């Protein structure tokens, strides 16, 4: 206990720096999204050199869409974080379904307690390595410099060991899933001659797309694998070589150091005897002692000297054996610490492509309602901050020395149409257009193919027969466009009104200066026509 106190008192600076660094890395891992959001906002608001400050010193032109490019840049940066919380109302159930299908429903990531334990194990390993390496680090350096360098190298070796054991544990967990896939495929899929390869690109949002697939296929759709879907042991081999190298190397260094110390002790004893033989005072003391002692016969003196030499050799051998056993125990302890690290990596890791993401959205909530309330709170917070940054940007731009009256009017009057909520509405419109474009293209291809085949049919029949084209059911995009093609702006021609919420309609009405009641009526008409088309 006293040695531990002396050690902590001597190297508390190094220990403090190391623990602080590990806590900093842990905080980055846990709150990475918040850190990114903070860095982004700091980049905009930093005094003098921040983007807001530079925007106030630059000239800007109003774009053709009615937005200043710098305003869209602000909205775009905030939108990148806003998207992380724009999940569907059933996202909680999707996350649960994803984890269940990938066989990782009951797993969890490492908590603060386990991370504290890992940091403690790293310190323990570093202490052991530092004691081994310190005597051999930079022979010409001072004792403190040798210790500092030994600690640095020991920390690097320990952190590398933790990293490799974590990778090995994850590899073992992934291999266990791959073995399950092959086992289930042998039972279910091989007899049906099904290929052992992913059939779909499954994400959390598309997790219901393979509900009808076999179990091995559901897992394979979510776990990355090689072409043959076989376990790999690359990280395991590297980790085993690294652990064996450190364990055996530490034992050999300690053993050779012990042999050197024993040899040095023997040499010191011989040098002491030679020095005593040449010292007159030592000879007088030995003669005085010999006069007081009873002189032994030569044979008995030889036996006594042999017994004393044997006792010293046995004591030295016993100390050496005990030390080597201790070194073996220390190496075994080091290996067991690595085994614990591998187990942590195996038990607290995920192999699914989006399993970590799914777990993060479900671990702190008991129901979908709780998750949705939290998502709405985060979206409102980001939106309010985006609006505040837009307002600060316009204030900076309006204070420029050279600004025309048209620009001043655009900044003051048009700002009500250039809000973050309007930007969100525009992004929703773009998503709708992108989602509906493949459907229209597909239907047009079908129509063109049927029309191309019509002359062949007409040449056989005496009267032309109307061709029935199998188009997508309901075709809501075309219905919405036909219903209001004469009144809706061109930007909304391909928008499916039936899929927009009341909030989306309100934003669109404000953005395009439309009557909200009329827009709701158009949505209702589109829904009615869609239902009638479906029933037919």
DSSP per-residue string spanning 352-410: STTHHHHHHTTTT-SSHHHHHHHHHHHHHHHHHHHHHHHHHHHHHHHT-SS--HHHHHH
Please state at what angle helix 476-483 crosses helix 516-535, rounded to 10 degrees.
Answer: 130
Start-to-end CA span in the chain (Å)? 87
**Which of 35-44, 229-238, 306-315 has the lowest average pLDDT?**
306-315
Q: Is 124 among the domain residues?
A: yes
Query: Across the chain, what does the average pLDDT equal?
Result: 77
Tell which of 302, 329, 349 closes a domain: 349
Residue holding tokens 């092959």?
Answer: 182
Q: Is 286 among the domain residues?
A: no
Tell which of 349, 366, 395 closes a domain: 349
Q: Is 492 among the domain residues?
A: no
Burial 101-113 (b: 16+ CB within 10 A, else e): bbbbeebeebeee
Q: How far apart are CA 66 and CA 246, in angstroms?
A: 65
For the chain, percent of residues with pLDDT exceeding 90: 24
Residue 365 has pLDDT above 90, yes or no: no
pTM for the complete prediction? 0.65
Q: Sorting pLDDT into bands at 50, 70 and 90, what band is 484? A: very low
Q: Sorting pLDDT into bands at 50, 70 and 90, what band is 295? A: low
Q: Is 215 among the domain residues?
A: yes
Residue 330: domain span: 110-280+315-349
43 CB neighbour count, 10 Å cutoff: 13
Q: How many domains does the chain have?
A: 2
Q: Is 404 among the domain residues?
A: no
Tell which of 305, 330, 349 closes a domain: 349
Contact 530/476 with Cβ under 8 angstroms?
yes
Q: Sorting pLDDT into bands at 50, 70 and 90, what band is 479? A: very low
Q: Is 100 among the domain residues?
A: no
Contact 220/178 with Cβ under 8 angstroms?
no
Q: What is the pLDDT of residue 120?
A: 82
Q: Is 292 among the domain residues?
A: no
For the chain, percent of residues with pLDDT exceeding 70: 71
Q: Is 40 among the domain residues?
A: no
Residue holding tokens 């360098």?
Answer: 149
């Amino acid at each position: 206990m006293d040695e531990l106190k002396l050690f902590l008192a001597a190297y508390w600076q190094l220990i403090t720096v190391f623990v602080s660094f590990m806590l900093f890395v842990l905080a980055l891992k846990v709150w990475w999204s918040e850190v990114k959001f903070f860095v982004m906002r700091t980049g905009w608001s930093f005094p003098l050199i921040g983007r807001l400050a530079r925007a106030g010193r630059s000239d800007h032109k109003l774009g053709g869409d009615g937005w200043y490019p710098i305003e869209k840049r602000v909205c775009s940066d905030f939108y990148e974080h806003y998207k992380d919380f724009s999940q569907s109302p059933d996202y909680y159930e999707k996350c649960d379904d994803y984890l269940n299908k990938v066989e990782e429903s009951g797993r969890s990531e490492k908590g603060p307690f386990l991370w504290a334990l890992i940091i403690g194990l790293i310190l323990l390993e570093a202490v052991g390595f530092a004691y081994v390496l310190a005597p051999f680090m930079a022979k010409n350096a001072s004792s403190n410099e040798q210790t500092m360098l030994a600690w640095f190298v020991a920390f690097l070796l320990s952190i590398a060991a933790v990293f490799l054991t974590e990778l090995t544990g994850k590899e073992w967990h992934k291999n266990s899933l791959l073995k399950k896939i092959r086992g289930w495929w042998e039972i279910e899929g091989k007899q049906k001659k099904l290929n052992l390869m992913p059939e779909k690109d499954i994400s959390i949002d598309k997790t219901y797309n393979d509900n009808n697939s076999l179990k091995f296929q559901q897992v394979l759709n979510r776990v990355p694998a090689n072409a043959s879907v076989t376990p790999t042991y690359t990280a395991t081999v590297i980790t085993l070589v690294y652990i064996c190298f450190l364990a055996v190397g530490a034992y050999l260094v300690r053993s050779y150091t012990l042999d050197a110390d024993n040899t040095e002790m023997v040499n010191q004893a011989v040098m002491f005897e030679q020095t005593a033989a040449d010292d007159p005072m030592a000879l007088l003391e030995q003669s005085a002692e010999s006069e007081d002692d009873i002189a032994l016969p030569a044979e008995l003196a030889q036996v006594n000297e042999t017994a004393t030499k044997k006792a010293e050799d046995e004591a030295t051998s016993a100390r050496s054996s005990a030390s080597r056993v201790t070194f073996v125990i220390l190496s075994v302890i080091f290996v067991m610490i690595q085994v614990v690290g591998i187990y942590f990596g195996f038990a607290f890791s995920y192999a699914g492509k989006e399993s970590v993401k799914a777990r993060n959205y479900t671990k702190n909530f008991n129901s979908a309602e709780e998750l949705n309330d939290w998502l709405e709170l985060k979206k409102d917070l980001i939106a309010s901050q985006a609006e505040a940054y837009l307002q600060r940007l316009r204030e900076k731009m309006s204070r420029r020395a050279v600004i025309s009256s048209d620009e001043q009017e655009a900044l003051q009057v048009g700002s009500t149409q250039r809000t973050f909520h309007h930007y969100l509405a525009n992004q929703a419109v773009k998503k709708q257009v992108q989602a509906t474009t493949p459907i229209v293209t597909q239907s047009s291809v079908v129509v063109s193919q049927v029309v191309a085949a019509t002359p062949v049919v007409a040449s056989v029949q005496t009267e032309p027969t109307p061709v029935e084209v199998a188009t997508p059911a309901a075709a809501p995009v075309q219905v919405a466009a036909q219903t209001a093609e004469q009144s809706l702006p061109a930007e909304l021609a391909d928008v499916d009104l039936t899929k927009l919420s009341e909030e989306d309609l309100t934003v669109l009405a404000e953005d395009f200066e439309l009557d909200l009641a009329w827009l709701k009526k158009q949505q209702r008409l589109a829904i009615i026509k869609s239902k009638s088309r479906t029933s037919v």
